[in-house]
Amino acid sequence: MTDDRQAIVRIPSEQHVTAGPYSPVLRIRQGSDLVVISGQAPLDLSGAVIGDTIEEQARVTLENCRKQLAAAGVDLADVFKVNVYMTDLADWPRFNIVYRAIMPQPFPARTAIGCALLDGFLVEIEMWAAVRP
């Protein structure tokens, strides 16, 4: 467990060995101040797709998430829920290497969905964060 003042606390739970960097259950010790960012993609400010591999696109997309969160006064450590959309779930292990290197622990609760994305995107990510008191 963690300090009572922390807004995001990982709850110990019994489950199968996890397939990646995520927390199965989180408790948000917070009022109603939340930040939700729309799906971010591997785009530069001009709208050009950056990167040809899942690793490159994951880094750019996570950095874009970081920038949007910062605009609202939070950072990746405040994130409690992540939804990842991918064109090819076979890229999941390679995506997780980048994700694990960038996202701080405790890892947010997370869902991954294989789906069609806009032209050139291999990944899109949306996040929910709790504003610290």
| 39-93 pLDDT tens trace | 999 999 888 999 999 999 999 999 999 999 999 889 999 999 999 999 999 999 9
Range with the lowest mean pLDDT among 7-11, 87-91, 101-105? 7-11
Domain 8-12+19-130 part of CATH 1.10.287.990: no
Domain ranges of the chain: 8-12+19-130
19 has pLDDT over 60 = no
- Among 62, 128, 57, smallest CA distance to 99 is for 62
The counts of H helices and E strands in the chain are 2, 6
> How far apart (Å, rounded) are the C-alpha atoms in residues 63 and 19?
23
Q: Please, what sign has the CA dihedral across residues 105, 110, 115, 117?
A: negative
Most confident of 12-16, 69-73, 111-115: 111-115
Q: Which residue has the higher pLDDT, 9 or 4?
A: 9
Note the pLDDT of residue 73.
Answer: 87
Note the pLDDT of residue 27.
Answer: 67
Residue 1: band (very low, low, confident or very high) from pLDDT cuts 50, 70, 90: very low
Note the pLDDT of residue 3.
Answer: 46
Q: What is the pTM of this model?
A: 0.82
